[in-house]
Every structure is written in structure tokens, then in C-alpha cells.
């Protein structure tokens, strides 16, 4: 079965609200690009204005959500609020949050559940740090993350999840995983999904790679069997570079 492709832009804490429409508008003008759904995940402050750009080929997502529907969580935003605003996706478990928020790891499963229950599609991030990779314990480490974060989810809900494998050593470092390294992990994630939730889910789930994806390395990565697109940080802030990445993913889908 051919899985549809995704390229998601994680703007992180970049771009001013006054600049967001111009940047996202240039991306929107280059779409649709065959076989690829593009998602822009800007900071919370830009979501409302960018919602008007949402279309079949361009979706808007957030970079995080709180697991509670409402309440005394100053500074946080719930999955329900994002859904009500019109968001389609939400990134959950990004390594920058896992590293800096001491409670993040323990809350990921609940955040994914909250997103799925409200009809938001989670882009769930997993991936090992450099010491784990150097010990060659990366496959086991990511399996443990999947067990902790996903194994209690219900079939019937989890179908909407998108997984992003993002080795921490590759994020923002300019050093991407090789196509072989990424493919090895993506195949292992797919096998874990099949073993845990059945082969249909294992086959259908989109698994994105993230970590220093650029126009120059995108095609070789996108051609791997189990890579269904990318989560792109730095390069998503440059429209030409980002659109070249989307074209590479489209080209790999047409092979
Ligand atoms: C990210 O932040 O999800 C990411 C992949 O960043 P970069 O592309 O800059 O490595």
C-alpha cells in the first residue's frame, strides 16, 4: 500500500507574527505538490492568522499542547483549544521539550490521547541522543520510548498518529542520519507498530525523519522504503530550500 507523504515545518520559536503570513503565504503559493501534504507548525501566536491558508495541500499545526481540556495551567494551551481554532496537527514530544521540561516525558502519552480525542493528529517525536547511538543502543532506546508513550493507546484512535524519528544528535547540528541509519530505525519502528497494533497499522502509519534535512540530502533519505517524509526545522525558514525538500519527497513518491 502506498502511504501518502508529509513534509512538516517546525518553525520552533522563530518568525515574528508580522512576518508569518508572508513566509507561509509563499509556501502556500508553491502548492499543491503532487502526493505531498505540507504542514506548517508555527509558534502559538501565529496560528490564528495562518489558519486562513489551510487547504487540502497545506495544514496548520501547533508545536505542543497541554493534556488537560482546560483549567489552572497558566501559559499552556489545550488540544481542544487548538482544534477549536482549526488546527489539524500538533507536535508532541519534541526532544527540545523533552530535554528542557522535567515533566515532559511522563506527560507525552496523555498529550497524545488528548490530541486524538479532540480530533487533532499528533506528530509524535522519538529519537536517541548521541551517547545512546555511540553505545549502539539506539534501536532498544527508541523501542522503550514507543512502549512508554504509545503502548497504552487504543486501536481506533492511534490510526491518526504520525511518527517522527528525530535523532537528537541530528537536530539543528547540520549532521543528518545517513539514509541507511534512518531506514534501519524506521523499519524497526514499523515492526514495533505491527507487533503491538497489527500489520495494518504498521503498514499504514506515516513515519517521518527529522534532523538537519536540507535540499541536498532530502532525496536520498526520501527514497528509503520506510521514510514517508520529513519534519524540518531550520530549513523550513527558507522558502526555496523548503520547497525543494517537498519536491524531493514528491519525486520519491513517484519513483
Ligand atoms: C526539528 O526541530 O524538528 C528539526 C528536525 O530541526 P532541524 O531540521 O533544524 O534539524
The predicted structure's pLDDT at residue 18: 95
The stretch 76-102 carries a mean pLDDT of 95
Residue 71 alpha carbon to ligand 1 centre in Å:
31
Residues with active-site annotation: 94, 166
Q: How far apart are CA 48 and CA 85, in angstroms?
A: 7
Instruction: Give the number of the atom of ligand 1 that is nearest the alpha carbon of residue 96.
Output: 2
Nearest CA to ligand 1 atom 7: 233
The stretch 38-47 carries a mean pLDDT of 98
Residue 75 alpha carbon to ligand 1 centre in Å:
24
Percent of the chain with pLDDT over 90: 91
Write the burial class of residue 180 (CB in 10 Å: 0-12 exposed, 13-18 middle, 19+ buried). Answer: exposed
C-alpha 238: how far from its chain's center? 18
Percent of the chain with pLDDT over 70: 99
Total-model pTM: 0.96
The predicted structure's pLDDT at residue 1: 61
Q: How far apart are CA 107 and CA 69, in angstroms?
A: 14
Q: Does 233 contact ligand 1 (Cβ within 6 A)?
A: yes
Q: Does 234 contact ligand 1 (Cβ within 6 A)?
A: yes
Count of C-beta atoms within a 10 Å radius of residue 154: 9
Query: pLDDT of 138-161, one tens digit each?
Result: 999 999 999 999 999 988 888 899
The stretch 195-204 carries a mean pLDDT of 94
The predicted structure's pLDDT at residue 255: 64
Query: pLDDT of 71-80, one tens digit each?
Result: 999 999 999 9
Q: Which of 92, 124, 129, 172 to mutate to test the pocket of ligand 1 (most atoms within 8 A of CB)?
A: 172
- What cell numbers appear for 78 in the block? 489545550
The predicted structure's pLDDT at residue 155: 80
Is residue 199 scored above 70 in pLDDT? yes
The predicted structure's pLDDT at residue 231: 98
Give residues with Cβ within 8 angstroms of 235, minimum separation 6. 213, 214, 215, 241, 242, 245
Is residue 61 scored above 80 in pLDDT? yes
Virtual CA dihedral for 187, 182, 1, 62, nearest 10 degrees? Answer: 110
Q: Is 108:67 a contact under the CB 8 Å cutoff?
A: no
The predicted structure's pLDDT at residue 41: 98
Q: Does 211 contact ligand 1 (Cβ within 6 A)?
A: yes
Write out the chain in H/E/C secondary structure.
CCCCEEEEEECCCCCCHHHHHHHHHHHHHCCCECCEEEEEECCHHHHHHHHHHCCCCEEEEECCCECCCCCCCCCCCEHHHHHHHCCCEEEECCHHHHHHCCCHHHHHHHHHHHHHHHCCEEEEEECCCHHHHHCCCHHHHHHHHHHHHHCCCCCCCHHHCEEEECCHHHCCCCCCCCHHHHHHHHHHHHHHHHHHHCHHHHHHCCEEEECCCCHHHHHHHHCCCCCCEEEECHHHHCHHHHHHHHHHHHHHHHC
Is residue 92 scored above 80 in pLDDT? yes
Amino acid at each position: 500500500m502506498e502511504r501518502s507523504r508529509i513534509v512538516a515545518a517546525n518553525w520552533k520559536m522563530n518568525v515574528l507574527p508580522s512576518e508569518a503570513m508572508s513566509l507561509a503565504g509563499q509556501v502556500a503559493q508553491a502548492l499543491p505538490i503532487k502526493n505531498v501534504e505540507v504542514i506548517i507548525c508555527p509558534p502559538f501566536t501565529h496560528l490564528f492568522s495562518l489558519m486562513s491558508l489551510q487547504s487540502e495541500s497545506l495544514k496548520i499545526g501547533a508545536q505542543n499542547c497541554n493534556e488537560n481540556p482546560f483549567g489552572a495551567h497558566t501559559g499552556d494551551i489545550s488540544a481542544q483549544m487548538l482544534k477549536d481554532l482549526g488546527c489539524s496537527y500538533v507536535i508532541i514530544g519534541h526532544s527540545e521539550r523533552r530535554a528542557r521540561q522535567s515533566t515532559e516525558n511522563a506527560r507525552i502519552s496523555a498529550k497524545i490521547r488528548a490530541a486524538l480525542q479532540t480530533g487533532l493528529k499528533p506528530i509524535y517525536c522519538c529519537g536517541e541522543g548521541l551517547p545512546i547511538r555511540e553505545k549502539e543502543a539506539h534501536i532498544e532506546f527508541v523501542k522503550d520510548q514507543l512502549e512508554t508513550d504509545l503502548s497504552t493507546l487504543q486501536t481506533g484512535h492511534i490510526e491518526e498518529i504520525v511518527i517522527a524519528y528525530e535523532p537528537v544528535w541530528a537536530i539543528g547540528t547540520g549532521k543528518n542520519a545517513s539514509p541507511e541509519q534512518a531506514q534501519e530505525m524506521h523499519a524497526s519502528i514499523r515492526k514495533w507498530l505491527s507487533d503491538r497494533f497489527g500489520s495494518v497499522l504498521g503498514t499504514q502509519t506515516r513515519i517521518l525523519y527529522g534532523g538537519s534535512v536540507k535540499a541536498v540530502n532530502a532525496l536520498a533519505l526520501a527514497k528509503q522504503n520506510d521514510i514517508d517524509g520529513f519534519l524540518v526545522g531550520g530549513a523550513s525558514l527558507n522558502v526555496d530550500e523548503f520547497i525543494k525538500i517537498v519536491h524531493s519527497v514528491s519525486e520519491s513518491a513517484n519513483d
